[in-house]
Amino acid sequence: MTEAQQEQRRYALAISGGICEVCGKQLSQNGWQGAHRIANTKPNRMKWGAWIIDHPMNIAIVCSLGCNQLCNIGNNPGKCLRLVKKIVEKELKRF
């Protein structure tokens, strides 16, 4: 894992408050996962772009594979578009 990836994981854990976003369980230091809401796949990277797939708003911090799977919105175009819109709106505020 690169230093940038480690920093992204530390940031994600900090903003989650140490709580699973799905079930509310307390997360242990090493017992958590970053779940992509729009899955990290080649087709999704082609469709949405790496900046959407890797954006912190596309990643939920969860306690287990079961909670990870519940975060997947890839089969719901409306949810995907709403998330992408939120990400774009947030990024536009920077300019």
12 exposure class (CB count in 10 Å sphere: 0-12, 13-18, 19+): middle
Domain edges within the chain: 3-92
The answer to whether residue 22 scores a pLDDT higher than 80 is yes
pLDDT of residue 20: 95
pLDDT digits (tens, 9 = 90+) for 59-82: 999 999 999 999 999 999 999 999
pLDDT at 10 over 90: no
**In this structure, what is the dihedral angle of CA atoms 85, 47, 92, 19, given to the nearest 10 degrees?**
60
Q: What is the pLDDT of residue 1?
A: 66
